[in-house]
Structure 1
C-alpha cells in the first residue's frame, strides 16, 4: 500500500542520485529527523563545507612542504600575534610589532597560523576583530625577512611563503566567526591583504589602506588580489592595485572597501566602537551565528547546487536544537 507519511505531501525531489517521492513540511520535521537527513548528503559536499575548517589549500601534492617553510620563518624573530578571547564570544587578534609598524616577521607569520588554529577550536566563539598595536594596522612583511628570502632560491622561497600565507588566511576566512578588520593608521602591502581576509572592514578617520606591491615589483601574494575583486569588483580592484592607490577612509567607503568610518582614532575608543559594531551581528547562540557564517562562506567556494545542499545540511544541525525550540516556544520568529 502506498501511503503518504504524516506531515508530508507527494512531490518528486532528488537527493544526489536517490529519488524521494515526498517533501516534508517544516512544521512537522524535528531535530532527529533533520539529523538523519544529514546522513543522506553526498559525502563530497559535507566534506567541502562542514569539514572545511582547518583545511589548507596547499599540501605536499602541490610541492608545498609546510615544515620546511616553518623552519625558515623561525629564523626571523620579532613582534608577536596576540589573541584575547572575550566572554561575549568576540576574539581580539592583535598584530604586535609597533617598532616596525606591525610588519610581519617570520615568527609572527607562524604565530598567526597558531592563533587561527586556536580560533578554529574555539567553539564558543562568534566573532573576531583583527587590529594592530599602537594605532596602526600593519605595514606588511618585515623587509629584513623579505630581503633574506630573496637572496636564496628567490622564486622558490617566495612562492613557498605565498602558499604558506594563502593557507593561513584562507583558513582564517573559513572560520565560522564573523570577522572585522579594525584599520587604524596604515594597512600597507601584506597588511592590506590581511584586511581582505575579514568579512568586514572598519576604518578610523585618519587611516589608510594601500596595496603597494606594484611599487615593490611584485603583485599581492597572500590572496589579497583575489579577495579584493570579491569585495569591490574587478574594475575597481584593477584601479586600486595597478595605481597603488591610497584609500583613505572616505575613498574606501565610496568604493565599498569598508563598512563604516568610526568616530574615534583613539586606540581604546575605536576598539570599543568596533566591538559595539560587531555585537549587532553576533547576538544569539554561537551555533546559529557560526552556521550562518558557514552558509555564507560556502557560497564563495561551491557551485550553486553544492551550496544549496550545504545550506540544507547546516539546517539539519540546527533544526530541533535548543536555540530553535526556545525560539519557537516564545513565538518570537519575527520579533526583535
Structure 2
C-alpha cells in the first residue's frame, strides 16, 4: 500500500526532495555564473580540503592550510564543493566530523583572495558560491559535527553553523569578526546562527558584545559539549565517540532521519509531512524494517 501511495506523490514534492540535496540555491536565473566564479577562485592556490571515509560510516573532513590558520584559499573553496558532492553520493555514510589541521578550526577567507576580489560584484559572486556549498553541506543526509579547536573566526565561525552539532575544546573560541572587517556574514552564517540561538543572542554575538569562549558557547547552546582533551588526536577520537550515539543503525535509516529533519526545518508543514511520507516509503518493508520487526518479535516471546 505504501508503494502505491508513493505513486500519487505530486511532482512538486518530488522536486522539493531533489532540491534538498544535490542542487544549489543560485543559478544563472539569479545572475550567478558558477563556472566564472570557479575560474577566479582557481587563481588563489594554497592548502587543501581532505576527506577520509571510514568503514563505520563516519567521514572526516579536514580544513588543511595550517600556515594561514586554515584560512580558505580559492582552491580550498573549490575543493570543499567537490568533497560535498562526494559525500552526497556516499551511500554508506552516516556521520561527518569537520575539523581543522594543527589544532585550529579556520580563520575564514584567505585575505589574498579577499583583497583581489574587491568589487561588490566579486563579493556577491563569492557569497553565492559559498552559500551554495554550505547549504548543500547542511542538507547532507549525514549527521554532522564541527569539532572546534583553537580559533573559528569569520567564515570559519560561519562554517560551524552549517553542521548539525558543534563540539569545542576548552581553550577554543568562536568569533564572528565580520563587523570588524566592515562587512556582515555572507556564507549563510547569520541565518543559521539565528536559528540556533535566536535573534537577540545572535545580535549580541554578531555585534561583538558577546565573546564566545567554550563556556559561554555551551551556556548559549551553540555547542553541545566541551571536550576533555585539547590534544588534536585525542579530541578527534572523543568527537567520534560522541557522534556514534546518533549513528547507531543502518545507513539508510540514519540518512532518512536526517532528510526528514531537514524537511521539517526548511519546508512548510504540508510539504514537510509529505516528505516524511515519501521517506517512509523508502524504508517500510525494507531489510532494516523487516529485521527490526523480527527481532522485536523474539524479544516479546
Determine the structure 2 residue equivalent to 1:142: 110
Contact 1:90 1:125 in 2 (8 A): yes
**Per-residue deviation, residues 166-195 of structure 1 (Å, max 9, x unmatched):** 000000001000000000000000000000
Determine the structure 1 residue equivalent to 2:190: 225
Determine the structure 1 residue equivalent to 2:65: 97
Query: Mind listing any 5+ residue stretches in structure 2 that lack a counterpart?
Result: none
**TM-score, length basis structure 1:** 0.87
State the SS of the aligned residue for 1:226. Answer: helix
Determine the structure 2 residue equivalent to 1:214: 179
State yes or no: 1:182 paired with 2:147. yes
1:52, distance to aligned residue in structure 2 (A)? 2.5
1:242, distance to aligned residue in structure 2 (A)? 1.2
**Counterparts of 1:141 and 1:291, CA distance in 2:** 33
Q: 2:270 aligns with which of 301, 305, 328?
A: 305
Seen in structure 2, the aligned counterparts of structure 1 residues 334 and 231 have a Cα distance that, compared at 3 Å, is farther
**Counterparts of 1:244 and 1:96, CA distance in 2:** 30
Q: 2:260 aligns with which of 280, 292, 295?
A: 295
Determine the structure 2 residue equivalent to 1:58: 26
Determine the structure 2 residue equivalent to 1:268: 233
State yes or no: 1:250 paired with 2:218. no
Determine the structure 1 residue equivalent to 2:49: 81
Seen in structure 2, the aligned counterparts of structure 1 residues 205 and 98 have a Cα distance that, compared at 3 Å, is same
Determine the structure 2 residue equivalent to 1:172: 137
State yes or no: 1:325 paired with 2:290. yes
**Counterparts of 2:3 and 2:183, CA distance in 1:** 49
State the SS of the aligned residue for 2:52. Answer: strand
Q: 2:163 aligns with which of 198, 202, 222?
A: 198
Contact 1:210 1:245 in 2 (8 A): no
State yes or no: 1:128 paired with 2:93. no
1:244, distance to aligned residue in structure 2 (A)? 5.9
**Counterparts of 1:191 and 1:93, CA distance in 2:** 14
State yes or no: 1:284 paired with 2:249. yes
State the SS of the aligned residue for 2:102. Answer: coil
Contact 1:73 1:109 in 2 (8 A): yes
**TM-score, length basis structure 2:** 0.98
1:332, distance to aligned residue in structure 2 (A)? 6.9
Seen in structure 2, the aligned counterparts of structure 1 residues 51 and 155 have a Cα distance that, compared at 3 Å, is closer
State the SS of the aligned residue for 2:296. Answer: coil
State yes or no: 1:240 paired with 2:205. yes
Q: Number of paired residues?
A: 300
Give runs of ≥4 in structure 1 deviating > 3 Å. 332-335
Contact 1:327 1:333 in 2 (8 A): no
1:246, distance to aligned residue in structure 2 (A)? 2.3
Larger Rg: 1
Contact 1:212 1:244 in 2 (8 A): no
1:42, distance to aligned residue in structure 2 (A)? 1.3
Seen in structure 2, the aligned counterparts of structure 1 residues 223 and 263 have a Cα distance that, compared at 3 Å, is same
1:46, distance to aligned residue in structure 2 (A)? 1.9
Seen in structure 2, the aligned counterparts of structure 1 residues 305 and 146 have a Cα distance that, compared at 3 Å, is same
1:35, distance to aligned residue in structure 2 (A)? 2.1
Query: Mind listing any 5+ residue stretches in structure 1 that lack a counterpart?
Result: 1-32
